[in-house]
Amino acid sequence: MLFHMEPHDGTLVGWVLPDNPAAMPRVKIFGPDGLLVELEANALRTDLRDRGMHETGMAGFVIDSKILPKPELFNQIEIRESNTNILIYRAFQPGAHIEQKLFRFELQAMPDTKTEELFARRFNLYYGAAQRFPQETMFGVVNNPAAKSVYISGRLNFQQYEQLLREREFKIVALIRNPYEEMAERLLFARYVSAADIAPFVLDYFQGLEPLKDLVKTIKFDDAETIKTAFNAMTEEQRTVLSNPLVRALACTLEERPKAGHVEIALSKLARMDLVGLRNRFVDFKSIMAEVFGVDILGNHELSALTWVPRIVEHLTQIKQARTLISLDLDLYTYAEQAITEVIG
């Protein structure tokens, strides 16, 4: 899905191209109190038709006083594509929004909604769990010519998008942590999403981790033997999901398997980022990020912690199969931790 929307002479004008080039685009317009209106494309865009981007060209939008009769609403609305709920437009608010672009490489699978809300509040366009977007949609998000305040986070394949992010002048930050903690949390998250009443947005964060649902069915997290038994019976898909996710995301192409040589590549990727911090030194990370952006985005915020993670980590460190799966991530983390600790010290 591609899109573009910007103010023009007291109206909002733009276009939306859904995944299906023959479909009629639709958007939802939300105000401070919720949904205001759902709108079907109402403007012909012959340029899109002539370039083969839409079959009929009926993909344009003109949002004026007939659609939003209260002028003050133009600065209070969010516009989202109807099917995907992807944010297309939100007015830039001077003083509230930062006129910069940020990509936060976030390997963590379990959503940290409080942290995400703090970032989203300071950028007028915000996109969490970006790993759920198809490549074309991700290109549209990063390459949006009207965007001057954008926040993107997620466990994207960094090798695939690094150059595009740099060309579009995104600052890039990351907060990394002990690989055993990430493995433990992925297992807990798989158990959590197996519940029948799970919120739909949570599944966006779980995308790509689906094979773990079967893995955790037989695990009792307070019993190391059940974890060891499950690891011994893993499928190839389950191994892939848990195998060196940090090195894989930073240094491998989509089809590559992490190898020892990728650790050096991953280190070079981290070294070129604007800021890399350690989760167990979050106070230092917050302080330096405030210097990088000239704004204290996170303030007194503290990261949430799952009480079960340390217990499961203790079990995982005693399981040979677990260490084998994240051996490269452990090497990478050790090198990065030493370097960051030395610099901060």
Residue in this structure with the two tokens 């989202």, named with its chain if needed: 80
CA distance 137 to 130: 10
Residue in this structure with the two tokens 């959503």, named with its chain if needed: 111
Q: Which residues have CB under 8 Å from 324's CB, separation 6+?
A: none
pLDDT computed for residue 8 by the predictor: 87
Q: Find the DSSP H helices in 259-300.
A: 261-272, 282-293
Cβ atoms of residues 175 and 277 within 8 Å = yes
Picking from 311, 174, 332, the residue whose alpha carbon sits closest to that of residue 244 is 332
pLDDT computed for residue 284 by the predictor: 95
pLDDT computed for residue 158 by the predictor: 95
Cβ atoms of residues 117 and 105 within 8 Å = no
Domains annotated on the chain, with CATH: 1-91 (2.60.40), 99-345 (3.40.50.300)
Residue in this structure with the two tokens 């600052």, named with its chain if needed: 171
CA dihedral 274, 275, 276, 279 (to 10 degrees): -150
CA distance 268 to 135: 24
Picking from 32, 29, 35, 33, the residue whose alpha carbon sits closest to that of residue 67 is 29
- State the chain's maximal CA–CA distance in angstroms: 67
> What string of pLDDT tens digits covers the 345 residues of the chain?
789 999 988 899 999 998 777 788 999 999 989 999 999 999 999 998 999 888 889 999 999 999 999 888 888 999 999 988 999 999 999 999 999 999 999 999 988 999 999 999 999 999 999 999 989 889 989 998 888 999 999 999 999 999 999 999 999 999 999 999 999 999 999 999 987 688 888 888 999 999 999 999 999 999 999 999 999 999 999 999 999 999 999 999 988 999 999 999 999 999 999 999 999 999 999 999 999 999 999 999 999 888 999 999 999 999 999 999 999 999 999 999 999 999 887
Cβ atoms of residues 135 and 64 within 8 Å = no
CA distance 17 to 21: 7
Picking from 191, 130, 204, the residue whose alpha carbon sits closest to that of residue 164 is 130
Helix axes 261-272, 158-167, angle to 10 degrees: 30
CA distance 173 to 180: 21
Q: Find the DSSP H helices in the chain.
A: 46-50, 113-122, 135-142, 158-167, 179-193, 200-206, 212-215, 224-232, 236-242, 245-251, 261-272, 282-293, 308-316, 320-325, 327-344
CA distance 118 to 204: 19
Cβ atoms of residues 154 and 131 within 8 Å = yes
pLDDT computed for residue 111 by the predictor: 86
CA distance 251 to 307: 31
CA distance 35 to 52: 32
Angle CA 317–104–163, to nearest 5: 110
Angle CA 221–226–227, to nearest 5: 65
